[in-house]
Chains A and B, each alone.
Chain A
Amino acid sequence: MGLKLGQAVKMAVKSILAKKGRSFLTMLGIIIGIASVMTIVATIDGYNRKVMEAFEAQGTNKITVSLSLSDGSNGFEKIYDYCQGLGDDVVGVTPNTQMWGTVKYGAKTSDTMDWQQRPRVYFGSDQYAKVNSFTVARGRDLNKIDIDGYHQVCVLGARAAKAMFDYADPLYQDITINGVPFTVVGVYVEKDAGSSYSVDSVIALPYTASRFFTDMSEDMSECAVKVKDSQTVAPVMAKLQSYVNSLTQDGERGWGYAYSEQQWRDESNSILTMISVVLGSIAGISLLVGGIGIMNIMLVTVTERTREIGIRRAIGAERASIVTQFLVEAAMICGVGGVIGIVIGYGGTHLAGTLLAGLVGEEMSLYPSLTITLAAFAFSVSLGILFGMYPAIKASGLQPVVALRAE
């Protein structure tokens, strides 16, 4: 006994198709609502993920220390030495200085490359790889002897190697940077295969080699300190800050500060969440309006079809069967609307990604995650059930004879 679900679905399809225009207009509310909520949530979620990935790729648990002393002594070395005294809490210390330069290998020059592919030259200490979470794939890393001996060697990130050497073996090849020759002694493992502008485009030189470049200042004023874990960030940062303060004598003899991206990240995270909630709720209002539209149209449908309901009741439909019929119909309108909304949401998210990319100047192809997609679909179907409930119960509640009398 009773109406089978498959049958109810067939009936719903028939009834929706019988009134195509009205069904579509009803769906429109759901389509717009789902598409906008999805675009907003997915864009923010995707952007957040990009930011996270960028942080992860740069290496987590890092503290940046900037120190410039007016007596001209090397700030980095002071920090480096100080950190060696902090024991296990500090994983590594390296300068964080980038140099704009032309990298050449034979006839190949970085000047003609797409800026996203172009290798980027960094000065590092022997702990550069540790701080930036690189591991050596081939050859060796920079070491203390390279630093102390002003060796003209370099280690390439996977992308930089690819950009300069294609599939040729870069090891022990000579490249020039702004005309100064360097020998490739190692290649790092690729960290961030996904994005186009990548940390893997790095070329790491011993920071002492900066003396070969006339336009580089001798001191490495900014450096990165990598600590053991996220709990260690704050205490080490406090120590570094007070050390910096003691060196500059609170700004009398230069300037300096210590900060952590982690703080910045947490802040940006909570700001993004807040934006997401605010925009999401605004878009959610359109979903609510869509849902009320569903309820309204289902009420009209129920009224129009009171006689049909009466006939069905008279020939043996239980109340539950009538409720099922109308609920399935409402859920289906919302489900189909949801699917269309999701498709538009995908497009919207992609578009938002492109617009954001224009703003940020970084390529960003954003797509909603599977979780968001499934959640959007489930949400729209339950919206149909929620707002279809009242009309459906109303439809089933009539005495058969009363329903039959309706015109």
Chain B
Amino acid sequence: MIGERWTAYWFVLPGTVLLAAILGFPAIASILESFGLQGGAGPAGGYAALLSDAQFLTASFNTALFVVCVVTLHIILGLAVALLLNSQIRHLWFFRVVAILPWTVPDVIGGLIFRFMLDPLSGGVNALAIRLQLMQQPYDWLGDPDWAMVSVIMAETWRGYPYPMLILLAGLQAIPKEQYEAAAIDGAGAWATFTNVTLPSLMPMILIAVVLDVIWQCRLFGMIYGMTNGGPGDATQNLSLFVYRQYFQFFETSYAASAAVVLAAVLLAVAVPYIRATLREKD
């Protein structure tokens, strides 16, 4: 097949060109901006300043903590629910729709709603806890730096887990039934079938789900913006919020771009081994 070499490019061309046309100029402009080449603090001044910026360091730590917790919970919950939904139980359509519902809440709005639920006075969480006599006084969840972080992680776990769940559910559908039948004939139990058949076949999709979710959670903005706006203090401020504030509230465009490029570089360093592993051929 002589033409095959070029056929490949025809398939990938439209997508690549579309992306380059839309994002090419903005991406180059932001990277130039980060070096202060469009006016501003002079070449690379922003990068040096970042290292001594306590807020930036806190935001980096918060981002790392947040992403690790959220992605872990997402994959565990997502896999569990995907497995449940892969069964042939009655009224499955109902559970399938319910399973996706949290994800239909736009993330900024999700943040607002969780803020409202956790409101010490008019929120449902305290109202329920007091009614069940779990506590006497309303507690200010989002006013405590540690609880605020836990709350943001819980909220994003709730809203975002249908995403890996759906990736994995579709992945489960692709595992040929013959493999299960073969395992059944060998007399494998449920757990053995899961570890020997399901998990290995699903591994590529799990890897993809992890990579995509990590990128996704690193960029997360709306949920935290709507829920705590980074507070109390800077306890829940992540890098996206940091960049947003520098850019739009403080008009420090070059500095914001430097922070964003650092985030991108770190993300790249973390993601490349995963991308390689995902692309590695089985043969």
Q: Do A and B come from one complex?
A: no
